[in-house]
Amino acid sequence: MTTRMVHLVHDGVSVIVDVSGGVPEVVHWGEPLTSPDAERFSAMSTRPLTHGSLDVVPPLQLVPQHSLGSLARPGLIGHRPGGRDWSPRFSECEVESTSRSVVTVSHDDIAMLRLSTHIELTDSGALHASAVVTNLGATRYLLDALTVTVPVPSQARDLATYTGRWSREATIHRRSMDHGAWTSENRTGRTSHEYPPTMWWSTDAAREWSGEAWGCHLAWSGNHVMLAEVLPDGRRYAQLGELLMPGEVCLEPGASYSTPVIVGAYSSSGFTPATWVMHGHLRTMARESGAVPQVRKVLLNTWEATYFDHDAEKLKGLADSAAGIGVERFVLDDGWFGTRRNDRQGLGDWVVSREVYPDGLAPLISHVTALGMDFGIWIEPEMVNPASEVARNHPDWVLHASGYEPVQARHQLVLDLTNDAAYQHVFGQLDELLRNHDIAFVKWDMNRPLIHATSADGAAGAHRQTTAFHRLLDQLRINHPGVEFESCASGGGRIDHAVLARAARVWTSDCNDPLERQRIQRGVGMWVPNEMLGMHVAARTSHTTGRSHRMEMRCLSAIFGWMGVECDPRALDDHELRVLKDAIALHKRHRALLHTGDAVRFDVDDESALAHGVYATDRSEALLGYVQLQTSPWLVAPRWRIPGLDPERSYTVTNLPLGKLGGIGRTLPAWMSSPITCTGHELAVIGLQPPSLWPESGVLVYLRS
């Protein structure tokens, strides 16, 4: 067989795809290469046959085929009635390629299936990989799985994955992977708090600014499956795709199923530069879809300030205090509609409550806009309370299995958006709400998972529900192009590149405890840029942890993202109010940098501290934060090295005081008392001496060349 290879090239990365077989195989994804000769590459990399193995070396293809002898988990799993055509084998593929993409089409004339694949290096350097299967036969094909596999090289010895829960999302776990497999399966019907669809392979010594890293993210807002495996022959790979429930996708003759896109990111210089690839990909998608606001306005969300207390005069007073500290947007949370005076009733009736707003929302909106702020509102379109008009009048619109009692969560059921009548009802009410009110921002919540989600035809409905959610959001954005949408699912339950192609931001977590937020934001920030992450200053005592924090720490944990306020400014003392007002002003002053620059994370030689920040893309300036999470093992912390700046430039280093600095140091490091000038090389090699801080406090540093 003649070896045929396609070489995809972008600054900093090469992808070589072998298209000699029936399905393409990524044989190199990593360091840039000059255009390699296919025969020479094959001679250098062909694996030998060994005793105890097959008489062929099965390729580790984009969609691995059991019928060729691959021991990897098959990428295509399905069958026809009676169990036929359960392990297809695809013939030589047709290939169309450019310097940045390769598209293949292959057939199995026995199983009567067509498999199409698409591999591309995008403008950001991200790897896109996806597949489509089409039923060419005369009978149904019952699809159980179609996933995409991306091999990584043998030096990728470590695997980093995420777990989480409500209000404690994106906990990073790193382990050595020399044998066996790691897998996770998400059945929540949303991206999930528990198993976000992102993983990172890396060399064993990789850190934020050194070593090789390969990231994989599934751009999908529903159920998913992920697998990382080291095969017995030593080959390593990541496999990601939608998790399909039994019978969920049955392909009628001529029908097709497309996988979500895998987004890959590679860097030879550590995790931080690899995350820039993810961020660049998402920023490009957002620009192309029109989901990028001109200014990401500082907002106040009313939830933790008022909960269900929707007294119009009190809300106007809250708006007055918000405007007084520099807030630019006032977001009215749950409780403004129908009979929704608590979380047990009214959900799904998207009509302004005349009980609490006898004159409608117009007077409150007018009050807000007269203060120079714009107005936002909370909705949860995919859910209903049983005690609601829509559920009482249309019980058949609930997404549940006929004959079974549906499982409730938070006194909620799921509205079946795959039912056209239900879909049109929701769309009509929301469309009217946005047409009749001056609303600039919508917080779109989803507060429960899909359990036993069954469409009216009796088949599993999570896949169709997810695509219907995307369609509903798309349609509302088309009708109301000036409205910004936020993806919220009890906080961080729906954060992925598919939803962020549509939503301007995500609500990162329902937990506003600033200590928890430091790690949550660091984890999610590896695949989402800071400006798309909602980061809010909450009340002194967190309602999810019961811990209390000084205002300085609350602001330090909110200033680097899309900043907001969740507390009631009227309940703050004079010191807290002054610090918050100063923090909002500081955020606005540096907003252009924070929302367009490269997010950076640092390896600090003290596990009790974290350091992070943003560099301007031209490396002309930076805003950095150093946070002491708990007491340090040492009286004096190790120096904080700051790599990644222009080594030849000189930078003025300025301490940005915010409120009161607390610590055990009798003196401060010299750079904190008056600005100093040093080179980017000196900052990387020598670094800055942090002060001896109290736990749960930190400092801000501004660099300017």
In the residue annotation, 510 being an active-site residue is answered as yes
End-to-end CA distance of the chain: 57
Tens digits of residue pLDDT in 417-438:
999 999 999 999 999 999 999 9
Same domain, 144 and 58: yes
| pLDDT(3) > 80 | no
pLDDT score at 487: 98
Using alpha carbons, select from 254, 305, 309, 263 the residue that is nearest to residue 282. Answer: 263
Mean pLDDT of 226-234: 97
Kindly state the percentage of the chain with pLDDT values over 90. 97
Pick the catalytic residue from 416, 510, 598, 606.
510
In contact, 122 and 284? CB cutoff 8 Å: yes
Report the number of secondary-structure helices (H) and strands (E) in the chain: 14, 36
Domain that holds residue 55: 5-289
Residues 210 and 321 in one domain: no
Is residue 37 very low, low, confident or very high in pLDDT (cuts 50, 70, 90)? Answer: confident
Domain contains 698: yes
Over residues 121-148, mean pLDDT:
97
Of 38-42, 206-210, 381-385, 636-640, which gets the smallest average pLDDT?
38-42
- From 289, 323, 354, the end of a domain falls on 289
CA distance 85 to 74: 14
Q: Is the pLDDT reported for residue 571 higher than 80? A: yes
Q: Cα Rg for the chain, rounded, in angstroms?
A: 27
DSSP 293: -
Amino acid identity of residue 326, one-letter, is: G
> What is the mean predicted confidence (pLDDT) over 573-589?
98
- What CA–CA distance (Å, rounded) separates 172 from 186? 17
Residues in the chain: 705
Q: Are 241 and 147 in contact (CB under 8 A)?
A: yes
Residue 493 pLDDT > 60:
yes
Q: Which of 37-51, 95-109, 167-181, 495-509 has the lowest mean pLDDT?
A: 37-51
This model's pTM is above 0.85: yes
Q: How far apart are CA 19 and CA 133, in angstroms?
A: 18
pLDDT greater than 80 at residue 35: no
Interhelix angle 312-324/362-370, rounded to 10 degrees, is 20
Lowest mean pLDDT among 26-40, 251-265, 606-620: 26-40
Would 455 be classed as within a structural domain?
Answer: yes
Task: Count the neighbouring beta carbons within 10 Å of the beta carbon of residue 462.
Answer: 27
Q: Which helix (H) or strand (E) holds 468?
A: helix 462-479
445 shares a domain with 337: yes
Element (H, E) at 682: helix 680-685
pLDDT at 146 over 80: yes
**CATH number for the domain that contains residue 74:** 2.70.98.60
User: Dihedral of the CA atoms 380, 386, 389, 391 (nearest 10)?
Assistant: 90
DSSP state of 547: -
Same domain, 95 and 217: yes
Buried b (16+ CB within 10 A) or exposed e, 276-315: bbbbbbbbebbeeeebbbeebbbbbbbbbbbeeebeeeeb
Q: Which long-range contacts (CB under 8 A, 24 or more apart) does 272-277 make?
A: 272/208, 272/209, 272/599, 272/600, 272/601, 272/644, 273/209, 274/200, 274/213, 274/214, 274/215, 275/215, 275/525, 275/526, 275/527, 275/599, 275/601, 276/598, 276/599, 277/124, 277/125, 277/126, 277/215
String of b and e for 365-394 (b: at least 16 CB within 10 Å)? bebbeebebbbbbbbbbbbbbbbbbbbeeb
Is residue 283 domain-shared with residue 305, that is, in the same domain?
Answer: no
Catalytic residue (one of 374, 445, 568, 606) = 445
With a cut of 80, say whether residue 145 has pLDDT above it: yes
| Cα torsion 447, 450, 452, 454: sign | positive
180: left (phi over 0), alpha (psi -120 to 50) or beta: left
Q: Is residue 562 part of a domain?
A: no
Per-residue model confidence as pLDDT tens digits over 65-94: 999 999 999 999 999 999 999 999 998 899
What is the per-residue pLDDT for 479?
Answer: 98
Q: Are residues 284 and 403 in the same domain?
A: no
Interval 42-60 mean pLDDT: 91
- CA distance to 93, 387, 642, per residue, from 594 (Å): 46, 44, 17
Residue that terminates a domain, selected from 480, 507, 524:
480
Task: Determine the pLDDT at residue 190.
Answer: 98
Q: CB of 215 within 8 A of CB of 171?
A: no
Q: Tell me the three state secondary structure of residue 394.
A: coil
- Measured CA to CA in angstroms, residue 458 lies from 86, 137, 455, 461, 630 at distances of 24, 24, 6, 8, 53
The reply to whether 278 and 256 lie within a common domain is yes
pLDDT, mean over the chain: 96
Any idea what the CATH number is for the domain that residue 634 is in? 2.60.40.1180
Q: Where residue 186 falls among pLDDT bands split at 50, 70, 90?
A: very high
Query: Where do we find the tokens 């580790």?
Result: 60
What integer is the mean pLDDT of 342-367?
A: 97
For residue 573, what are the CA distances in angstroms to 304, 579, 585?
17, 10, 18
Residue 558 maps to a domain: no
Could you give the angle at the alpha carbon of 152 between the alpha carbons of 146 and 154, nearest 5°?
A: 140
Total domain count for the chain? 3
Same domain, 275 and 323: no
Counting beta carbons within 10 angstroms of the beta carbon of residue 623, is it exposed (0 to 12), middle (13 to 18) or buried (19 or more)?
A: buried
Which residues, other chains included, contact 615 with Cβ-Cβ below 8 Å and sequence gap of 6+?
A: 597, 598, 600, 621, 622, 644, 645
CATH of the domain at 327: 3.20.20.70
Residue 573 lies in a domain: no
In a domain, 36, yes or no: yes
Q: Are residues 457 and 411 in the same domain?
A: yes
Confidence of residue 38 (pLDDT cuts 50, 70, 90): confident
Note whether 275 and 324 are same-domain residues.
no
pLDDT at 1 over 60: no
Task: Tell me which residue has tokens 């904080």.
Answer: 640
Domain for residue 393, yes or no?
A: yes
* Same domain, yes or no: 113 and 24: yes
Domain boundary among 462, 480, 498: 480
313 shares its domain with 257: no
Instruction: Tell me if 507 is assigned to some domain.
Output: no
